[in-house]
């Protein structure tokens, strides 16, 4: 099998892996408010889907993949005012990623890929810092495409590119494709559009969803979501992850 769940394997099965050709994929999300219609772990569900799709795409490129148990806690200060949101410091995330890279390096894995679905600026910065430290310490590469930036963002949906994409059509569609049982359908279909770009609000100085006007913790068009769009988005996210990993490994080989 080209893709396996590390947590479901035995130590002898891991021992027998061709670890020099194996990329460890870490789904990374947060426990935070995602509107009145999606669960707090929506990012974790999306990250898991991205990880699986990325593993499949890596297999077509001649690599193996193991999916690590997800990292479900991160900096989530924008949603901190909503019950259930559990925010931890960005430095905690950086430390976890670096520690994992150290362990995976010791065990001879090829790379640590971060399948990230949580777009809080502090969280993205924590991943970037972990990448930097891994390079400085000579560890296996930590690879995590920032899908909010070019060229990756341009390959995602119109709503995503607009910035009005927290618990809107983009994320809700993926939940409908992956875990429709977690979507509160009567609420979702009744929600009015809220076409406010959270990214623009952040640039204007907003530090919370409430300051951006998102008093119900969603931005975008959740009522317009569809499982079909969700499936195509997951496929694209997987390609983005795999392409990032392959590009990093090719760059490292060239160096």
- The tally of domains found in the chain comes to 1
In what order do the strands lie in the sheet containing 64-67? 3-5, 64-67, 22-28, 111-116, 142-143
pLDDT at 178 over 70: yes
| pLDDT mean over 224-253 | 94
Reading phi first (left if > 0) and then psi (alpha if -120 to 50, else beta), residue 63 is in beta
Strand 111-116 relative to strand 142-143, pairing: parallel
Cα separation, 84 vs 66, in Å, equals 30
pLDDT band at 185 (very low <50, low <70, confident <90, very high): very high
| pLDDT mean over 147-166 | 95
Cα separation, 158 vs 197, in Å, equals 12
pLDDT at 254 over 50: no
Q: Looking at residue 1, what is its pLDDT?
A: 54
pTM summary value: 0.96
Strand 64-67 relative to strand 22-28, pairing: parallel
Say which CATH number the domain at 229 has. Answer: 3.40.50.10310
Among the listed residues 114, 175, 122, the one whose alpha carbon sits nearest the alpha carbon of residue 145: 114
End-to-end CA distance of the chain: 31
Domain housing 64: 3-254
Question: In Å, what is the CA distance from 1 to each residue of 4, 18, 55, 235, 246?
Answer: 7, 12, 11, 19, 19
Query: What pLDDT, in 10s, does the model give residues 78-88?
Result: 999 999 999 99
pLDDT at 29 over 50: yes
């Amino acid at each position: 099998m080209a893709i396996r769940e590390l947590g479901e394997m035995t130590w002898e099965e891991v021992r027998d892996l061709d670890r020099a050709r194996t990329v460890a994929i870490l789904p990374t999300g947060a426990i935070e408010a995602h509107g009145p219609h999606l669960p707090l772990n929506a990012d974790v569900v999306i990250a898991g889907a991205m990880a699986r799709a990325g593993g499949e795409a890596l297999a077509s490129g001649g690599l193996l993949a193991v999916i690590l148990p997800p990292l479900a806690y991160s900096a989530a200060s924008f949603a901190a005012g909503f019950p259930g949101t559990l925010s931890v410091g960005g430095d905690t995330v950086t430390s976890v990623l670096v520690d994992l890279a150290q362990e995976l390096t010791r065990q001879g894995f090829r790379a640590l890929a971060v399948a990230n679905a949580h777009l809080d600026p502090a969280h993205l910065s924590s991943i970037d810092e972990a990448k930097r430290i891994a390079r400085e310490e000579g560890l296996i590469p930590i690879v995590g495409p920032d899908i909010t930036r070019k060229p990756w963002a341009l390959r995602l949906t119109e709503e995503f590119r607009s910035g009005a994409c927290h618990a809107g059509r983009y994320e809700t569609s993926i939940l409908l494709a992956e875990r429709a049982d977690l979507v509160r359908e009567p609420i979702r279909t009744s929600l009015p559009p809220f076409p406010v770009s959270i990214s623009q609000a952040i640039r204007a100085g907003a530090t919370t969803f409430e300051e951006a006007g998102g008093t119900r913790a969603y931005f975008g068009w959740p009522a317009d979501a569809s499982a079909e769009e969700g499936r195509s988005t997951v496929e694209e996210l997987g390609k983005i992850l795999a392409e990032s990993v392959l590009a990093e490994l090719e760059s490292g080989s060239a160096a």
